[in-house]
Amino acid sequence: MLRHIASALLLSAPLMAAAATVPSDLMRPVPEQAVQGYAVNWLLKIELESEQLKDIEPCRKILAERGFSPLLSKTASSSAPLLHFKIAGAKQYEQADEDADAALAAVQHAACPATLTWTVESRHRPQAR
């Protein structure tokens, strides 16, 4: 199964102003694949990382309210040995949806002092006949 992955890293409001891509821009079917009988579901993943749990709690609530089922994890690695917290949530869409853009905008508007990363992945499936 082919997978098309697109993502963006948003660290601050000025960077967001320069980056015009929103999730729904990436949720477009590839015509060549549609002709071959493939349909696509889209998975929007939103992640926030911070050294302080209280910094990302408001954004966790926003993700939960919007159906993203956010999961909290404590993380440390060789590249980032200090303990930090990560909240990750995902929601599936059957087609380009402005709700995906609104969810991302709500998290950005909350301005949680954290690193925000979002990714859109395609999930191909045969079309029902």
Distance CA 36, CA 45 (A): 27
What is the per-residue pLDDT for 62? 97
Residue 109 structure tokens: 């508007």
Q: What is the CATH number of the domain that holds 66?
A: 3.30.70
Distance CA 120, CA 127 (A): 20
- The number of folded domains in the chain is 1
What is the per-residue pLDDT for 127? 61
pTM confidence score:
0.76
What is the per-residue pLDDT for 31? 73
What is the per-residue pLDDT for 29? 75
pLDDT in tens, the chain (129 residues): 334 444 443 333 444 444 568 999 888 877 777 677 777 889 999 999 999 999 999 999 999 999 999 999 998 888 878 899 999 999 999 888 899 999 999 999 999 999 999 999 988 766 655
Show the domain range for 121.
5-75+83-126
- Closest among 25, 12, 42, 44 to 118, alpha carbons compared: 44
What is the per-residue pLDDT for 102? 96
What is the per-residue pLDDT for 3? 42
